[in-house]
């Protein structure tokens, strides 16, 4: 007669649901907020349909990594070498004004693919990204020193002081943006002074967007400049 043995069933504990959405676990949303992949990009193929468009990590939700990356992408588009062609921008401005855009139908479709325009009841309306594009086209941008105060590797963000905007109020930026632009690793960033272009007239910190980031060139001492001493010669002991 065989004896049947019983062992405790090992079941992985269920993850708590996210309190802010109906589609994800709290752990998934915590990670989704910190990456441009959003919750959608962190799940297996068979569950992506459930978490698609999760508001906790969406590009449309202020403060998420995807939101910050979207604003950066728009600012680079608006201030780069290939902004919208004239008639497309005219169509976008007409949409923002609530004007009749029937004559721009083809261009409105193209703008919707960029997520600058969205349709509600078959009527086009400007999106937050579209409004950010127009703001980036209109607002002045200036070179300014930027000092890195702290980095948060878990959240993939950094807090910086954008001198041309505020000397005491920090601005949150994507950590990956800084490391990619400077070639520095996160531990090398705190205390570093960088240079970037910024919309220094932004109303709130979250609306400040940095582009053209680089490590600030070293300052040559005045006495060295007066003597015509080559930069770095003093550090090298004056050797040729």
Q: How far apart are CA 176 and CA 173, in angstroms?
A: 9
Q: How confident is the model at residue 44 (pLDDT cuts 50, 70, 90)?
A: confident
Tell which CATH classification among 1.10.10, 1.10.8, 3.40.50, 1.10.620 matches the domain 66-138: 1.10.10
pLDDT exceeds 80 at position 8:
no
Give the list of residues 6+ apart from residue 121 with CB closer than 8 angstroms, or none: none
Tokens of 55: 């508001």
Q: How far apart are CA 104 and CA 81, in angstroms?
A: 23
How many beta carbons lie within 10 A of that of residue 90, not counting itself? Answer: 15
Average pLDDT over residues 92-121: 95
What's residue 221's pLDDT?
Answer: 65
Helices (H) then strands (E): counts for the chain: 8, 7
Angle between the N-to-C axes of helices 65-79 and 128-138, in degrees from 0 to 180, rounded to the nearest 10: 40
Q: Phi and psi at residue 7, in whole multiples of 5°?
A: -120, 150
Average pLDDT over residues 52-60: 92
Fold of 142-215: OB fold (Dihydrolipoamide Acetyltransferase, E2P) (2.40.50)
Give the list of residues 6+ apart from residue 195 with CB closer than 8 angstroms, or none: 143, 144, 145, 146, 213, 214, 215, 216, 217
85 three-class SS:
coil
Q: What is the pLDDT of residues 177-211, one digit of tens each?
A: 999 999 999 999 999 999 999 999 999 999 999 99
Q: How far apart are CA 29 and CA 125, in angstroms?
A: 29
Q: What is the pLDDT of residues 145-180, one digit of tens each?
A: 999 999 999 999 999 999 999 999 999 999 999 999
Domain range annotation of the chain: 26-58, 66-138, 142-215
Q: Does 66-138 match 142-215 in CATH topology?
A: no
Angle between the N-to-C axes of helices 105-113 and 86-96, in degrees from 0 to 180, rounded to the nearest 10: 90
């Amino acid at each position: 007669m065989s004896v049947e043995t019983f062992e405790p069933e090992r079941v992985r504990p269920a993850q708590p649901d996210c309190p802010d959405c109906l589609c994800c676990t709290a752990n998934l949303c915590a990670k989704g907020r910190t990456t441009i992949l959003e919750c959608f990009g962190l799940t297996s193929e068979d569950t992506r349909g459930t978490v698609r468009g999760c508001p906790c990590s969406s590009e449309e939700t202020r403060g998420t990594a995807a939101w910050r990356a979207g604003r950066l992408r728009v600012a680079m588009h608006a201030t780069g070498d290939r902004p919208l062609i004239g008639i497309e921008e005219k169509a976008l401005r007409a949409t923002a004004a609530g004007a009749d855009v029937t004559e721009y139908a083809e261009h409105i479709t193209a703008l919707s693919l960029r997520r600058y325009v969205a349709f509600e009841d078959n009527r086009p309306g400007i999106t937050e990204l579209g409004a950010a594009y127009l703001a980036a086209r209109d607002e002045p941008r200036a070179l300014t020193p930027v000092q890195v105060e702290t980095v948060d590797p878990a959240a993939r963000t950094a807090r910086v002081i954008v001198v041309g905007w505020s000397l005491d109020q920090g601005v949150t930026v994507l950590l990956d943006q800084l490391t990619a632009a400077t070639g520095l690793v996160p531990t090398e960033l705190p205390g570093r002074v960088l240079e970037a272009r910024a919309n220094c007239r932004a109303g709130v910190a979250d609306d400040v967007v940095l582009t053209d980031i680089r490590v600030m060139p070293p300052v040559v001492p005045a006495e060295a400049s007066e003597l015509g001493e080559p930069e770095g010669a003093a550090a090298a002991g004056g050797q040729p």
